[in-house]
Structure 1
Amino acid sequence: MSWNIGQQVNSAPTGSTENPDKIDIADLAEPVLTDLQKQTMAWADANPVSLTEKALLEAARQATGLSDFGDQGFRQHMAKWIESTDADTELSALGRIGVFGAMLRNLTVRLRIEDMVRRFPEILDIEIDRPIIIAGLPRSGTTYLQNFLGADPRLRALPYWEAIRPVPGPEERCMYGEEDPRRARCAADWAQQDALLPYVKAIHEFAPDHISEDIELQTPEFGSYHLDWLTHAVVWRDHYFQMDHRPVYRYLRKCLQVLTFLTGRKRWLLKCPQHMEQLSVVNEIFPDATIVINHRDPVASIQSAITGVAYSSRVTRTRVRPDRIAEYWIDRYERLLRACVRDRDALDPARTVDVYFHELMQFPMEIVGDIYAKADLPLGDGMRQWMTDALTHHPRGKNGQIVYDLRRDFKLEPDDIRRRFGFYFERFGVKAEVK
């Protein structure tokens, strides 16, 4: 069966959970747009956004009725987001709207976080007690592992709908038993994105109840690598590697304090790939955390990342350049993993667990047992059964499995990429997967 965007390898419909399809996106370099994609891009061209600091700050004030953004240090980073986006001359009008929307959302989150702390200053006294923090490359089993641990009622994970709107506005409050308006809004946004780019969910799901990365709670400080996923962010990337990341992680902690105040005290379960390059900062800001580091053949992660970026580029860019995407992200991964190798041995071994993808897939409960031992959490038979049951509702590949072809789509040999990461294979017992 042929499709406008890609080629369906099996005959079952996309998204089947009983027999998930192999999805081969055969037109990455020269995309064939659907009517909806064409219409959406045409609408964006006719409705350009003003991506300026003044326009963004005023829009956030208008959206919330608030004006206090707290400490102004975030503004230098926000200015670099804008400068970097403006420097990306091949970003489409729709891509610019996406950046504007992300920046506006994070500014409104910041206004509401600061408003909560102003009205309830005791929030800053809340202790974030012994969180479990997962670091690991995308597609290294971090979500799989987090779904295990998230079944534990003693732990507090972060659903995507709450991560992107952690504090409800006055119009978003709901009665007990009703759906939170923030979740309903997130579901509507996800349905719209899914209609526009239906294969995104097979690469990285953004459904409302999907456990989120805590990058969403770093971005109100405009210090995360979130912009890298939205644009060709050379200006931002270079600024990112020169900045002090401690304020970013302090703001993450402040967001967790606000959420704890709103929803009750539990041990936090966090996850973000970015933590791999900020291990010393994570350790400083969360000194009693159990840090879990997932490891996998970086080529397996890179092929997923660059395929996803190339696929989304059909609407976010005026031109899709797979070679440029690959060059950017291979370099980005190398920087991240060199930082991980540099800082890993400075962590307290009593609070740190290295998890290898091939072992996690074979012996998941043994891995969980190791983590719980380091985290000083008992793991009884009942908890093991809960965790096992949780995975039946979150099977890997439930939204279909993307066919990755580095040679066809990016003109790259897996072994050539892997040679860039010899330092990582020498330090960790990672097995090569992609041939």
Structure 2
Amino acid sequence: MVDSAQKGATHPNVIDITDLHHPVLDEIQKQVLAGAEAAAAHIVFEPQVILAAAMAQTGLSDFGAQDFQERLAVWCQSIDEDENASAVTRANLFQMMIRYAATRLRVEDIVKRHPEILEIPIERPIIVAGLPRSGTTHLLGLLAADRRFRSLPWWEAIAPVAAPDETPTPQDSNPRWTKAEQGWRTMESILPYMAIMHEFSPDHISEDIELQAVDFSSYLIEWLALVPRWRDYYLSHDQSGTYAYLRKCMQILTFLNGPNRWVIKCPQHMEQLPALYKTFPDATFVLTHRDPVGSIRSQLTMYTYAARMLRKTVDIAEPLGYWPDRYQRLLRACVRDRDVLPADQTIDVYFDEWTQAPDRILREIYRIAGVELTDEALAELHRYLAEHGEQSKGKIVYDLERDFLVTAEELRRPFGFYFDRFDVEVEVT
């Protein structure tokens, strides 16, 4: 049971999390924290420890190009420097890094056995990019509902190449799906409102960031710990190599599951437009735009809600000191590099227009992509919209002034450069 202080709702579809600052933990949360303390006591964030664990798990030893080891070392150092990271965070990140290393071993192994994989074209993908918490996930899911497109469900994103114990059996036709389902149910039981803020069910369409992380890059771990060292390293290094690795993973998935027209997304692409275009020069680029305050407001609430498990102490100064600045960095890069993308391959989608007239925008996306939006396909997308609307699972209450002691105008003020470049409508007042 979730404590009433966590529920805080007077209507079944309205969820007001009233214990953000002083969490009231339920029994499951207490048990998880206690168990993690014991597990985390033996964790050592050192590259060789992580790589050795991955080799023991897979029986493989070839990680491919070795440049990732420097990035892995920065990941480890950055996580160790996060003094407020809880035992849950440390244990989760350690296991996650071993998973990425094991996946990398399997990636290199299958390419070695099937070198023809690297000749597979990734033709004219549709790539969605936009602010975190700005509707990119919903748009990706909507496009993926068109079965003519190839997308990346969560179960496949976290295990793109099956391990020997993940081959189908008469008892389980997809062990990777089953493992992802178990992980999802566990997360739901520990942080139930995360299921509304950011879904991770097995069939949920994932960001391609999971494939970038196999190269030990991307901004992924910024969402899981306070790692300014990694942020600065990542932003100061060319990401073309990691985007090439993403492409290689997509080639492998195409080889394993058949060719199709890919649709992928990641908010990080907004600050990596040159590398994105270099890697996928024939893509259709869909950039979503929203009042940054609407996105930051959501991020602050999500971060602080999860902090009851992921941080030793809950301190609103942490997300306020990091995320508004991080959004500025991302959007300044987008403004700087937007014109790198060819005009005839790119569409800017504005949040207010999308919520009012999605069909018109969908038709334009399909036109640019050169795909016919048939009546049958449009009906399928309408069914998806009806089943996955904003309030299908509940509506979170976001209150900046109550929960973070800051006004919308104070948060918006540094983003004038973004409003000057894009016709974004003020959403939060």
**TM-score normalized by the length of structure 2:** 0.97
Task: Report the residue type matching 1:400 in the other structure.
Answer: G
Query: Which residue in the other structure is 1:165 paired with?
Result: 159
User: CA offsets, 1:171-226, max 9 Å, x none?
Assistant: 11115895310000000011111111111011111111111110001001111111
- Mean Cα displacement is larger for which, 3-12 or 32-41? 3-12
Q: Distance in 2 between matches of 1:377 and 1:180?
A: 31
Task: Report the residue type matching 2:78 in the other structure.
Answer: S
Query: Which residue in the other structure is 2:283 paired with?
Result: 289
Q: Distance in 1 between matches of 2:171 and 2:121?
A: 29
Query: Which residue in the other structure is 1:16 paired with?
Result: none
Answer whether contact 1:56 1:103 (CA < 8 A) is retained. yes
Query: Which residue in the other structure is 2:47 paired with?
Result: 53
Q: Distance in 2 between matches of 1:163 and 1:127?
A: 20
Task: Report the residue type matching 1:34 in the other structure.
Answer: D
Q: Distance in 1 between matches of 2:14 and 2:383?
A: 25
Q: Map 1:129-140; keep pairs closer than 5 Å.
A: 129-140=123-134
Answer whether contact 2:366 2:372 (CA < 8 A) is retained. yes
Query: Which residue in the other structure is 1:269 paired with?
Result: 263
Query: Which residue in the other structure is 1:105 paired with?
Result: 99
TM superposition shift of 1:418: 0.5
Secondary structure, counterpart of 1:57 in structure 2? helix
Query: Which residue in the other structure is 1:201 paired with?
Result: 195
Task: Report the residue type matching 1:216 in the other structure.
Answer: E
Is structure 2 residue 2 aligned with structure 1 residue 8? no
Secondary structure, counterpart of 2:264 in structure 1? strand
Q: Distance in 1 between matches of 2:337 and 2:206?
A: 25
Answer whether contact 2:286 2:348 (CA < 8 A) is retained. yes
Secondary structure, counterpart of 2:409 in structure 1? helix
Q: Distance in 2 between matches of 1:264 and 1:221?
A: 24
TM superposition shift of 1:257: 0.4
TM superposition shift of 1:4: 4.7
Answer whether contact 1:130 1:290 (CA < 8 A) is retained. yes
User: CA offsets, 1:336-361, max 9 Å, x none?
Assistant: 00000111122100100000011111
User: CA offsets, 1:1-51, max 9 Å, x none?
Assistant: 993552432243xxxxxxxx2111111122121121111111111222222
Among candidates 12, 16, 24, match of residue 32 of structure 1: 24
Query: Which residue in the other structure is 2:116 paired with?
Result: 122
Q: Distance in 2 between matches of 1:135 and 1:397?
A: 23
- Mean Cα displacement is larger for which, 134-143 or 120-129? 134-143
Answer whether contact 1:150 1:269 (CA < 8 A) is retained. yes
- Mean Cα displacement is larger for which, 416-425 or 21-30? 21-30
Task: Report the residue type matching 1:32 in the other structure.
Answer: V
Is structure 2 residue 141 aligned with structure 1 residue 147? yes
User: CA offsets, 1:246-280, max 9 Å, x none?
Assistant: 01100000000000000011111001000000011
Among candidates 412, 422, 425, match of residue 416 of structure 2: 422
State the aligned residue count.
Answer: 427
Query: Which residue in the other structure is 1:278 paired with?
Result: 272
Among candidates 381, 403, 406, match of residue 412 of structure 1: 406
Q: Distance in 1 between matches of 2:2 and 2:108?
A: 51
Q: Distance in 2 between matches of 1:10 and 1:276?
A: 38
User: CA offsets, 1:43-68, max 9 Å, x none?
Assistant: 11122222221211111111111111
Query: Which residue in the other structure is 2:206 paired with?
Result: 212
TM superposition shift of 1:401: 1.3
Q: Map 1:20-99; keep pairs closer than 5 Å.
A: 21-48=13-40, 49-99=43-93
Q: Distance in 2 between matches of 1:257 and 1:145?
A: 23
Query: Which residue in the other structure is 2:301 paired with?
Result: 307
Secondary structure, counterpart of 1:421 in structure 2? helix
Instruction: Say what the alpha-carbon RMSD is for the aligned residues.
Output: 1.5
User: CA offsets, 1:90-127, max 9 Å, x none?
Assistant: 11111100111221111111111111101000000111
- Mean Cα displacement is larger for which, 389-398 or 349-358? 389-398
**TM-score normalized by the length of structure 1:** 0.95
Query: Which residue in the other structure is 1:350 paired with?
Result: 344
Structure 1 segments unaligned to the other structure (5+ residues): 13-20
Q: Distance in 2 between matches of 1:346 and 1:43?
A: 49
Q: Distance in 2 between matches of 1:210 and 1:397?
A: 17
TM superposition shift of 1:423: 0.6
Answer whether contact 1:131 1:290 (CA < 8 A) is retained. yes
Answer whether contact 1:69 1:110 (CA < 8 A) is retained. yes
Answer whether contact 1:334 1:421 (CA < 8 A) is retained. yes
Q: Distance in 1 between matches of 2:320 and 2:5?
A: 21
Structure 2 segments unaligned to the other structure (5+ residues): none
